[in-house]
Amino acid sequence: MGEVRLSRRYFGTDGIRGRVGEEPMTPEFVLRLGYAAGRVFAEEGTSTVLIGKDTRLSCYMYESALQAGFCAAGVNVRLLGPMPTPGVAYLTKTFRASAGVVISASHNPYHDNGVKFFATNGSKLPDATEEAIEARLEAPIGELDASRLGRVSRINDAQGRYVEFCKSAVGSRISLTGMRIALDCANGATYHIAPHVLAELGAEVIPMGVEPDGLNINHDCGSTSPAALASLVLEREADLGVALDGDGDRVVMVDRKGRVLDGDRLLYIIALDRLRTGELRGPVVGTQMSNLGLEQALRGAGIDFERARVGDRHVLEMLQRQGGTIGGESSGHILCLDRASTGDGIISALQVLSVMVATGKDLDALLSGLTLLPQIMINVPLNGRDVMRDEAVRKALSAVESALEGRGRVLLRPSGTEPLIRVMVEGPDEKQVRGHAEDIAEAVRAAQG
């Protein structure tokens, strides 16, 4: 059974997130958050922060609240406009800002939103800094002398800078000329960036999900809903499809036959190519959700594989501890630390595309050595009760573990971003795995009354 992360009051596994207009995602709270973070950053010597956002309608409101809070704390703000999360991480580093802020709820629907931070090196904030911000949130907003308030300006060439950075991740020798690529930007933060990256590298791009209206982000599109992209690949006879999520840090792909390839498959392709080129360093790091078939295939190729807790920050921490560069999650959040400081959907897709170009193989051929086990995940709504210690739930878990006899895995964990309990079971027989997952899910539902 998976380990439960004891979260702080506001910061979860990926910043602060919630439904728009409800605590903590109210304008008043976000104003206080900007002020609290600004005071913490100011004490660390910060003078400037960058703010980027995705395409949700509520981002305008939160952007205004954040910049007001930062300015009240005496911190200068530079606005990026719509920008993928990894783009904010990169620009924070390249502009030598002391922090970057992203207003986004990633793959969630438009009615959710959130705030996440990056340190000056483009990585997630240390736990100690998040804890310091939380402590400051309880204090009232103070008053600075008018001469010490922060200023706000806009970076007008942010999009072009990030496009060039993405292209640099595959080097000047790689050309996508001759490739027809269907691209789904989830009506999110990559809508004005990803098509340019692929087209400037020579690909013929068939775009979808590039008309954000503030409400359609991630709606029946993007990496969480790739069915429409799969249909587009078949309809337009594309060589493959690329689906990003609303803030651009996740990617899944679709092969020419319309089959969806999750993060485990993409991680396998990237890891084996790094081994081929001699660039692989340390172990490949997955999570508790990574398919057992991925672990077996990588170990069979002579590549060490380690599992971190679910969440890209935990994958990052383990990679840094063990000297690795390649890791990720089955959701499509992939880390290539030899190319970028954080998970980047565009750059991860480019790594796979560059392997195709370098080897002359299509996705099906590149995956010939990987056989994933059937894996079923059921999300059970959580009403606040601690079901992880419920006796009936524990018995259901034990029964499934005994039935699998070491030929599969079972994991029960609370989501770090939504009020859900995630039930995951994998094993050699899909029908049995589904039945086992349903048994545990039913025990979880019953434990909540």
Residue bearing the bigger pLDDT, 301 or 413: 301
- Per-residue pLDDT, averaged over 144-167, amounts to 95
Say which CATH class 261-366 falls into. Answer: alpha beta
Question: What is the model's pLDDT at position 386?
Answer: 78
Question: What is the model's pLDDT at position 14?
Answer: 81
Three-state DSSP class for residue 173? coil
- Per-residue pLDDT, averaged over 158-178, amounts to 94
- List the Cα angle 215/165/311 in 5-degree steps: 60
pLDDT reading at 3 higher than 50 = no
Catalytic positions are 106
Question: What is the model's pLDDT at position 139?
Answer: 87
Are the C-beta atoms of residues 448 and 385 closer than 8 Å to each other?
yes
The DSSP-derived string for 136-168 is HHTSPP----GGG---EEE-TTHHHHHHHHHHH
Question: What is the model's pLDDT at position 13?
Answer: 74
Same fold, 16-156 and 375-447: no
pLDDT digit string, tens, across residues 389-428: 889 999 999 999 999 988 999 999 888 667 889 999 999 9
- Per-residue pLDDT, averaged over 36-59, amounts to 92
Architecture category of domain 16-156 in CATH:
3-Layer(aba) Sandwich (3.40)
Cα separations in angstroms, 52 against 60, 196, 395, 414: 11, 19, 46, 29
pLDDT reading at 42 higher than 90 = no
pLDDT digit string, tens, across residues 69-90: 999 999 999 999 999 999 999 9
- Per-residue pLDDT, averaged over 29-35, amounts to 97
Question: Token match 């087209």: residue?
Answer: 199
pLDDT digit string, tens, across residues 333-392: 999 999 999 999 999 999 999 999 999 999 999 999 999 999 999 999 988 777 888 899
Question: What is the model's pLDDT at position 269?
Answer: 98
What are the residue boundaries of the structural domains of the chain, listed by start?
16-156, 261-366, 375-447
Question: What is the model's pLDDT at position 417?
Answer: 67
Are the C-beta atoms of residues 86 and 50 closer than 8 Å to each other?
no
pLDDT reading at 150 higher than 90 = yes
Domain 375-447 homologous superfamily, CATH: Alpha-D-phosphohexomutase, C-terminal domain (3.30.310.50)
pLDDT band at 275 (very low <50, low <70, confident <90, very high): very high
- Per-residue pLDDT, averaged over 214-233, amounts to 98
Question: What is the model's pLDDT at position 5?
Answer: 39
The DSSP-derived string for 10-70 is S-BTTBEEEETTSTTSSHHHHHHHHHHHHHHHHHTT--EEEEEE-S-TTHHHHHHHHHHHH
CA distance 174 to 318: 30
pLDDT band at 6 (very low <50, low <70, confident <90, very high): very low
CA distance 254 to 242: 6
Question: What is the model's pLDDT at position 2?
Answer: 38
Percent of the chain, pLDDT > 90? 85
CA distance 47 to 45: 6
pLDDT reading at 449 higher than 80 = no
What does residue 330 show for φ and ψ, rounded to 5 degrees? -65, -20
pLDDT reading at 91 higher than 80 = yes
Cα separations in angstroms, 141 against 34, 40, 62, 65, 308: 10, 13, 17, 13, 38
pLDDT band at 46 (very low <50, low <70, confident <90, very high): low
